[in-house]
Amino acid sequence: MLLVFDVGNTNMVLGVYDGKKLVIDWRINTDLNKTSDEYGVLIKNLFEASEIPLSSVEDIIISSVVPAVMHSLENFCRKYCKINPLIVGPGIKTGLNIKYYDPKMVGADRIVNAVAAISKYKTPLIIIDFGTATTYCAISKEGDYLGGSISPGVKISSEALFQKASKLPRVELIKPDVTICKDTVSAMQAGIIYGYAGQVEKIVTLMKKELNDPNTVVIATGGLAKLICSETDVIDAVDSDLSLEGLRIIFEKNKQI
């Protein structure tokens, strides 16, 4: 079996593949202070709870935007799985033609999303990943990675509002029914969620114009994708497993190398 790690600033998502089939996936906190042994105990418990022996893992691939956690994760792979993991980064075969001025500056998360989206959907494409940051990536009709935009994520935006405005409380990210709200909590929720949906619509509209194709397919992924997507009709599909699938495809491209 193949174990894949998609490590983000807030959460890391783990998936177990049997061939091309995603058997199970888990989402855990990204903790910079955890040792390899602590990750070992946690991940072993996840496997045992799912009645999958950790010894069934034959290969591991990791995509990470958090360099500080990699020492512990790589040590976990070697100590508990006896495997040297494949790390998504420079020198790894992805099949992606990146048009960034400096291709090395494109985050691993954006690369794996693009690889999966090109495999699963028709181009041109816009990929929106609602993570700690929200990334917008544009894929040309020819399948080239053109670049994109990055904005503060929904949770970062709401936390900044709470921290910098002393009278405003921390709020749960649920949508109110109206935008003319009669209490502070609902007013904040409306501004955050509907305001963010407006951001998505504006950026998607501009990207479609730059791609010169109004029929560009728009795919969303990430933890808050469903919440925001419920408030806009510019997104064609929500694909929660996009990054995991991208990791599987990249591993297949590199397993003979």
Residues involved in catalysis? 109
Token duo for residue 90: 């420079």
C-alpha–C-alpha distance, residues 11 and 62, integer Å: 14
C-alpha–C-alpha distance, residues 252 and 83, integer Å: 16
C-alpha–C-alpha distance, residues 186 and 88, integer Å: 41
Length of the chain: 257
| Number of continuous H segments (helices) and E segments (strands) in the chain | 7, 11
Whether 4 and 108 have beta carbons less than 8 Å apart is answered as: no
Residue 221 exposure: Cα atoms within 13 Å on the Cβ side:
24
Token duo for residue 7: 């490590």
> What are the backbone angles phi and psi of residue 145, rounded to the nearest 5°?
-85, 110
